[in-house]
Structure formats: structure tokens, C-alpha cells
Structure 1
Amino acid sequence: MSGGAVDPRLSINQATIKHADLATALRVTAAAGVQAIGLWREPVNAVGLDVAARMLAGSGLRFTTHCRGGFFTLPDGPERRAALDDNRRAIEETATLAAAGADGSTAILVLVAGGLPEGSRDLAGARERVRDAIGELAPDAAAAGVTLAIEPLHPMYVSDRAVVSTLGQALDIAADFDAAVVGAAVDTFHIFWDPEVLTQIERAGREGRIATYQVCDWKTPLPADVLLSRHYPGDGVIDFATLTRAVESAGYTGDIEVEIFNADIWADDPARVVRRTAETFGAAVSPHLAAVLDSA
């Protein structure tokens, strides 16, 4: 960001202003000069999909991702079938919102794999159930024009949130499917530590599977609830220069979401958070971007 202008590729993931309702999130994002937003299912469903789509259309914002689908690791049974049906609804929501967003919107549903089932230690088996679930959902996603973005999460979440911990694992699962239908989410918070991260980013680009690039920072000590341990870009130890240049070199030219889970940031005024996000993105990420959106 230079001269006070907001980077046209910045997208505010709604989790960054978690306690703002949909109307507030859209209003403060647009008012700050940000051009794009990623939405979460809960605030969308709170107003209803049709109303949410109209609100998004009225905001003039691009739609970048829908969060989240997934949680596929349960064995066969009613709960697994219910999870798959819920993911089909999420696919429908994603397609509807992408159609409502401004030009340049993308129909991307972010998938969090799910953790180990209670009493299980079988990581490999859980990952295969993720692959099987995506196989069931891929035809629905293809028919709706939606890309399923498998998001690897930091291994500290492997037991309760995601048995997919590395970008390589996500790409191994995605490899069974058309790249237009199944890709990966590259999130700096979750993958910056991985010794293979640059090789896997290059692979993701070569295979056409970088569905979205998300950024926030890592800083210790971690809070008691490690889910809430994300920070503004530049406030921690992540090397955004190297990672962002790698993603750019891999051919990604789309919007870049800032997604932050942090109790102190959530307690702040949403408008101030969006402005601060734009400032920190401009300082930590923008200098390393070579490509801009066609719509910018």
C-alpha cells in the first residue's frame, strides 16, 4: 500500500471481524476501500442465503471464498452422511454468492478436513476418508462451478480439526481430481514452518491447484486456546517475502485474504480492524506482489 491506497488484491476474510454481522462486515470492508471479502457460513445463514446474496451484490465487493466445508473423518454412518449433505449445501451457497459478487468473484469453498475421530490414532485412515468424501462431493462441485480448496492446518490441530497438515498432503489428495474442481488453500499461518513448503508451492502452481492464498502471522507465546493465535501480517515471525514471491512465481494472481483468529482483534472495532489489516497487508505483503488483478 502506497500513499494511503488499499492494495486492490486484499480481501478481508470475515473471520478477522468475527463478531460483526454480515451487514456490518460488508459495510466496513467497502468503506475502508477494500475491494473483496471472504464470507463464513454462519453469518450468511443467519440472514438466509438469498438475502445474503442480495446484500453482497449491493456492497460492490468481490467474493473470494466461502468458509467452510469439510470435517470428513468420521467413519461411515449417519453423522458422516449428514456432514456430506451439509457440504453439498455449502457448495450451493458458494455458487450463489460467487454469482452475486462483483466482477472477478471466485467460487471457492474452503475445506477443513476434520480431526481424528474419538478414540482413533489412525491418521492415514482418516486422510483416506477425506479423499473418499471429496470424491463424493467432486461431481456436485463440478456441476455448480465450485472449486473445493483443501486447507492444510498446522499439525497442532491434527487431533481436533485437520488430519491434513501439509500442503503436500493436500496436493496428494487433490491429485485424484480435476484441478478446476479440487485445489488447495495456501495459508501462511499453517504452512510457513514446513521444510518442503517452497517445493510444494511450486508443485501446486505447476498442477494449477492454488485456489486461494491466505495470510496472517505467527507469534509466541501461543494463547491457551491455540485456535486464537493468529496476528496481523508483520507482527510475528513469518517470512511473507519468501512465501508471497513463491506463490506469485507459481502463477497465482488472485485475491489474497487476511484471515485472523485473535480474541483481542475480535474485541476491537471492526472498522478499525479492517483499516489496520489494510495497513499491515500493505507493509508486509504488498511489496512482494508483482501481479495485479485484471479488475483492479
Structure 2
Amino acid sequence: MTAHPRLSMNVGTIKYASFDESLRVLVDAGYESVGLWREPVAEVGLAEAAKRFGDSGLRLSTLCRQGFFTMAEGAERRASIDENRRAIEETATLAAAGAEGSRAVLVLVAGGLPEGSRDLVGARDLVADALEELAPEASAAGVTLAVEPLHPMYASDRAVVSTLKQALDLASPFDPAVVGAAVDTFHIWWDPEALAQIERAGREGRIATYQVCDWATPLPADVLLGRHYPGDGVIDFERFTRAVEASGYDGDVEVELFNADIWATPHDEVARRTAEAFADAVAPHLAVRTATAAVG
């Protein structure tokens, strides 16, 4: 089958594919868009990765990921801010190399509670401080910083931003082209305010990316790896996708799956299965159009 024109696969779905193999798999499967990760890019080198990415004919939906700045001021925090600066440069470079409609969106995961801390509010303040420092550089580079709220089960060790409202509140002091939010069904499906916050995000122009995967229980021992193909769990993709569409978002839709069984499956098969699941669960609720303008 031909992949839906707005379907993007985040290469975290085929974690063990090399940079070149991930591009080949998606091109062969008829995808038009990809969400890249920084680590495979680093293995190739940014300049060479940009060239190979440009040659692939794919467009960029996002670059994953940076953030992780919930630590007190000091050498560790300075190193984290510097790493975010490098990630901004990488995002701009790769988006410029990608096909028409590439989006210069850098996904940010806030980071968990500082070691020994129980102060969630204070940790979110540290995220706000980091955004204030990085926003001028993102703006100059034409990059949108996408704050991604993660499910509350990750609040202690991975992301103190747990709801779309919290992400939008953090983004609100900044130009929407500079700081927006990631809408990921896996992380917000449970939230009774999620639909209202999607409407708010659309009104404010802050949906930087829409990511889809499903939730099913029981969760694995490593709860990071509990993501499933759309349609294999309990998430109402019709409701969420229609809300995102009504918000005015017209970009690519990423499938991002962290799942040990999927990672162990041949990559070509994962690409095919992802396209089929997307076609059944998500595509019926999307307008068939391709993003033609870069974000940022």
C-alpha cells in the first residue's frame, strides 16, 4: 500500500536502523516524511546527514529530542543549555535540507525532578527559565521549540511537564512560531482537559507536531516501551484527530512507537504495518493534504 501523504514515521519506531537504512525503509514504503533522532544524525555527522537526507527526497516533521534542563544553575545546566543550542542548529540544518514542507521543529522533553527534590513547581520554573534563554536563538534559526508533555508516570524521572495545559502555559510568553507544544496521544489521552487544550493550542497557533500511538495495558516493566500501533489499544483517535484538524494544524502526523517487540521486527515490516494501522485508525479523520509551509 502507499503511505498516507501526511504520515510521518519517527525513526524511534525502528530504533536499531542506521541513519541510511531508516531513510531507505521509508522511501521504499512510500512515506513522504520522517521524524529524525539526533543520535543517528551524530553518527553520520551533521553535514553528511543533511546531504543524505536531502538526497532522500523526504521532508522533516520533527527532530527528536532535547530539553532535559531541570537542574540547578551550574556546570551541568550550562552543558544542557549548550546541547540544546546544538540541537537548534541541527534542526535548522536538516529542515533546510529536507523536501518542501519540512518543518523546523525541535521536540523538547523537560526532564524529571532534580535529584533529591520533591518540588515539581520549582522544576517547571527551571524549564521556563531555559525556554527564555533559548527562545531568541531558536527564533534567529527559524526553529520552533515543541514542549512535549509526557504522561504523569514519567514526571519524576523524565518530564515534569505532564499536561498539554502546562506545556501551553510554558509556551505562552513566546511567539508561537518560536515555542509551541507537541500533541502526543499516548501522553494526553487520559486528560479530561485535553480536547479543550487542543482547541486552545489551535487558537494560539501552538501545535508544533501531532504524534500518534496507542495505549494498552498491562504496561511492560519498562513503561517507556508501552506504545502500540494506532488501533491496537484504547485511544479514541477519531476524537483526537478531529480536534487537531479543527485546530487548523495541517502538518504531518508522526507515528512514534517505543516497543521492544516492534523494535525486534524487520524494519520493512514495521513500516508497512505502521502505514496500515495509520490508514485504519487515523487517516479517515484527516484531510488529504500535505504541509507546504515550514514552521519557524
Scaled to the shorter chain, the TM-score interval is over 0.9
User: Does residue 223 in structure 1 map to residue 220 in structure 2?
Assistant: yes
User: Does residue 207 in structure 1 map to residue 204 in structure 2?
Assistant: yes
- Helix, strand or coil at the partner of 1:247: helix
Give the structure-1-normalised TM-score: 0.98
Q: Whole-Å Cα distance in 2 between the matches of residues 168 and 214 of structure 1?
A: 17
User: Does residue 273 in structure 1 map to residue 270 in structure 2?
Assistant: yes
Give 1:116's aligned residue: 113
Aligned partner of 2:186 among 186, 189, 204: 189
Q: Whole-Å Cα distance in 1 between the matches of residues 291 and 111 of structure 2?
A: 35
1:85-105 CA distance string (max 9 Å, x none): 000000000000000000000
Which runs of structure 2 are paired with 1:1-296 in the superposition (5 Å)? 4-293=1-290
Does the 8 Å CA contact 1:10/1:281 hold for their aligned counterparts? Answer: yes
Q: Whole-Å Cα distance in 2 between the matches of residues 290 and 96 of structure 1?
A: 29
Q: CA deviation at 1:291?
A: 4.9
1:226-276 CA distance string (max 9 Å, x none): 000000000000000000000000001100000000000001111110111
Give the structure-2-normalised TM-score: 0.98
1:168-221 CA distance string (max 9 Å, x none): 000000001110100000000000000000000000000000000000000000
Q: Whole-Å Cα distance in 1 between the matches of residues 206 and 30 of structure 2?
A: 29
Q: Whole-Å Cα distance in 2 between the matches of residues 75 and 17 of structure 1?
A: 35
Q: Whole-Å Cα distance in 1 between the matches of residues 128 and 173 of structure 2?
A: 9
Q: CA deviation at 1:290?
A: 2.5
Q: Structure 1 stretch 4-13 or stretch 218-227: which is displaced more?
A: 4-13
Provide the aligned C-alpha RMSD in A: 0.7
Letter in 2 for 1:88: R
Q: Whole-Å Cα distance in 2 between the matches of residues 177 and 74 of structure 1?
A: 22
Does the 8 Å CA contact 1:253/1:291 hold for their aligned counterparts? Answer: no
Show structure 1 runs of 5+ residues with no match: none
Letter in 2 for 1:172: D
Q: CA deviation at 1:294?
A: 5.2
Letter in 1 for 2:166: Q
Letter in 2 for 1:273: V
Percent identity (aligned) = 71
Letter in 1 for 2:187: H
Q: Whole-Å Cα distance in 1 between the matches of residues 49 and 264 of structure 2?
A: 24
- Helix, strand or coil at the partner of 1:205: helix
Instruction: Give the paired residue count.
Output: 292
Q: CA deviation at 1:6?
A: 1.7
Q: Whole-Å Cα distance in 1 between the matches of residues 64 and 48 of structure 2?
A: 18
Q: Whole-Å Cα distance in 2 between the matches of residues 63 and 104 of structure 1?
A: 8
Q: Whole-Å Cα distance in 2 between the matches of residues 6 and 93 of structure 1?
A: 27
Show structure 2 runs of 5+ residues with no match: none
Q: Whole-Å Cα distance in 1 between the matches of residues 288 and 117 of structure 2?
A: 45
